[in-house]
Homo-oligomer: A and B are copies of this chain.
């Protein structure tokens, strides 16, 4: 991609005007000049040692999709990952998919579906992962990282297989949902014949922040969520808890991470009829400010001993979990109503970690007595190996798939 002109969707439309963009033949034919890469603050660099969308400051909106392979041929998967990489590099800099010219092929479908034309890059990031089932389907069991464990059954789990698992996943985050939806849709379109969408989830509002200086967003329970998250700027904590190190096991995963996704339904009608005192005791922080008991400000260190033994913040705290920490970047969702007139709403939990057993499994196991469990239910689940970032000229997952390409 590096040799391509860096045209953006906006520049493309702006340069068009009456003449160039008037008819079918002119669509997408305009090219902007030599835009410096990533000079736009709305562009997050696609290439790098780690995939974007993990330590990146959390964008406002999410579209997450899990895919199933319809092939068992690693070469076809390698080709798909290369095509996806090319499209992702374009979309994340605000450019349409394809080479920007459809001249002479009006009888072909457009390379880009078009609904994001004219929209800026909106800090779009695309992050790809591989589920445990991918290794089985492709006969690559020997390459499956030990740190990518199957999640155990946790008490209270009520998982819907139609919203769980998947051979691959794509996390699309952007400040504009139209940009995130456009990206997933175009990857699905490119993948036709190799993958099909297994399930997808729209997140309308970020919860956890990875930028501690900004306002901590609130989840659907009305509480600030992510006060003590791992900052995306803290290289030491990221290396300790998020990025896979060279000596951690599967060599191809160095620089990668592991993602646990959980669709957590909140019983918000019940929660909304719970007293403020009860809500605050369940969480372990005050609702308005987000301060722990005996503290006055959100970012004052919490005193676990002052919380109820079954308070959520207490049980999830690193001090209660031998230091285990997760980088969370979850999103609120609402997907209409269930059959009982209740909003189908909650938290789509996304957490990155260096080792699943030492991360999510450890913390979630400690939450078995969490008082919050009365108000939530885990209804979807996925776990994925997130390969390292893409070098210029490389492709997603090439540390594993290059030999098949």
Question: Is B196 touching A341 in the complex (CB atoms < 8 A)?
Answer: yes
- Nearest chain-B residue to A178 (Cβ)? B205
Identify 8 residue pairs between A and B in the complex whose beta-carbon atoms are under 8 Å apart, listed by A's number.
A19-B296, A22-B295, A61-B204, A108-B275, A108-B276, A176-B205, A188-B269, A197-B341
A189 — nearest CB in chain B belongs to which residue? B272
Q: Chain B residues with Cβ under 8 A from A176's Cβ?
A: 205
Which chain A residues numbered 229 to 255 have a C-beta less than 8 Å away from chain B? none
Q: Assess whether B18 is in contact with A115, with CB atoms less than 8 Å apart.
A: no
- The one of B24, B199, B269 in contact with A280, judged by C-beta atoms closer than 8 angstroms, is B24
In contact, B334 and A335 (Cβ under 8 angstroms): no
> Is A43 part of the contact surface with B, judged by Cβ < 8 Å?
no
Complex Cα gap A289–B345 (Å)? 38
Q: Is the CB of A336 within 8 A of B199?
A: yes
Let me know if A402 is at the binding interface, CB within 8 A.
no
Question: Is A277 engaged at the interface, CB distance under 8 Å to the other chain?
Answer: yes
A94 to B90 CA separation, bound complex (whole angstroms): 38
Interface extent on A, as a size class?
35 or more
A21 located at the interface, meaning its Cβ lies under 8 Å from any Cβ of chain B in the complex: yes
Partner of A113, one of B115, B222, B275: B222
Q: Shortest 7 CB-CB distances between A and B: which pairs?
A: A114-B222, A196-B341, A177-B204, A178-B205, A27-B288, A21-B288, A22-B296
Asked whether A114 lies within 8 Å of B223 as measured between CB atoms, the reply is: yes
A267 — which chain B residues lie within 8 A by C-beta?
none
CA gap between A18 and B299 in the complex, in Å:
11
Interface residues as binary, A176-202 with B (CB distance below 8 Å gives 1, 0 otherwise):
111001000100110010001111111
Interface flag for A28 (CB, 8 Å): yes
- Inter-subunit contact B19/A288 (CB<8 Å): no
What 0/1 pattern do residues 11 to 22 of A give for CB contact below 8 A with B?
001001011011
Docked Cα-Cα span, A220 to B188, in Å, equals 14
Question: Assembly of this chain: how many copies?
Answer: 2
CB of A218 within 8 A of CB of B114, answer yes
Say yes or no for A145: interface residue by CB 8 A criterion. Answer: no
Contact with B along A322-342 (1 / 0, CB 8 A): 000000000010111101011
Other than A27-B287, A197-B341, give 16 A-B pairs with Cβ distance below 8 A. A18-B296, A18-B297, A22-B286, A22-B289, A24-B276, A24-B287, A63-B334, A113-B268, A115-B205, A115-B332, A117-B288, A188-B343, A189-B269, A199-B337, A200-B337, A200-B343
Least Cβ–Cβ distance between A141 and chain B, in angstroms: 25
A291 within 8 A of B: yes
Of chain B, the residue at the smallest CB distance from A18 is: B296
How far apart sit A277 and B102, CA to CA, in the bound complex (Å)? 11
Q: In whole angstroms, what is the CA distance A273 to B110 when docked? A: 8
A152 beta carbon closer than 8 Å to chain B: no
Q: Do B337 and A197 touch across chains, with their CB atoms under 8 A apart?
A: yes
